[in-house]
Amino acid sequence: MALESINPANGEVLQSFSYWERSRLQAVLKSCVAARQDWQGSALSDRTALLRAAAKVLRDNKEDYARLITLEMGKLINDSRAEVEKCALVCDYYAEHAAEFLADEIIETDAGKSYVTYQPMGTVLAVMPWNFPFWQVFRFAAPALAAGNIGLLKHASNVPQCALAIEEVFRQAGFPEHVFTTLMIPASVVADVIADDAVQAVTLTGSEPAGRQVGSRAGEMIKHSVLELGGSDPFIVLPDADMEQAVKWGVTSRYLNTGQSCIAAKRFILVGEAADSFLPAFKTAVEALQPGDPLEASTTLGPMARVDLRDELHQQVRESLEQGAVIVTGCAPVDGPGAYYQPSIMDHVKPGVRAYNEELFGPVAIVIRAADVEQAIRIANASRFGLGGSVWTADTALGEQIALRLECGAAFVNGMVKSDPRLPFGGVKASGYGRELCHHGIREFVNVKSVWIA
Looking at the annotation, which residues are catalytic?
228, 262
| Spatial separation of the C-alpha atoms in residues 307 and 12, rounded to whole Å | 12
Comparing C-alpha atoms, which of 163, 178, 183 is closest to residue 38?
178
| Distance, CA of 165 to CA of 17 (rounded, Å) | 14
Q: Can you give 267-329 as a three-state secondary structure string?
A: EEEEECCHHHHHHHHHHHHHHCCCECCCCCCCCCECCCCCHHHHHHHHHHHHHHHHCCCEEEE
Total number of residues shown for the chain: 454
Q: How many CA atoms lie within 13 A of 216 on its CB side?
A: 7
Q: Any residues with CB less than 8 A from the CB of 373 and at least 6 apart, and which? A: 238, 271, 398, 402
- In which order are the strands placed within the sheet that holds 105-106? 105-106, 113-120, 446-453
Q: Rg (Cα) of the chain, in Å, rounded?
A: 23
- Nearest-angstrom CA–CA distance, 333 and 311: 8
121 φψ region: left (φ > 0), alpha (ψ -120 to 50), beta (else): alpha
Query: Amino acid identity, residue 64?
Result: D
- Residue 368 phi, psi dihedral angles, 5° rounding: -120, 130
Which residue(s) pair with 344 in the sheet?
Answer: 364
180 touches 151 (CB < 8 A): yes
Contact 241, 211 (CB under 8 A): no
Amino acid at site 333? P
Helical residues (DSSP H) of 147-227, grouped into ranges: 160-173, 190-195, 208-220
Between CA 447 and CA 308 the distance in angstroms is: 41
CA atoms within 13 A on the CB side of 285: 20
CA angle, 166 as apex, 163 and 168 as ends, to 5°? 115
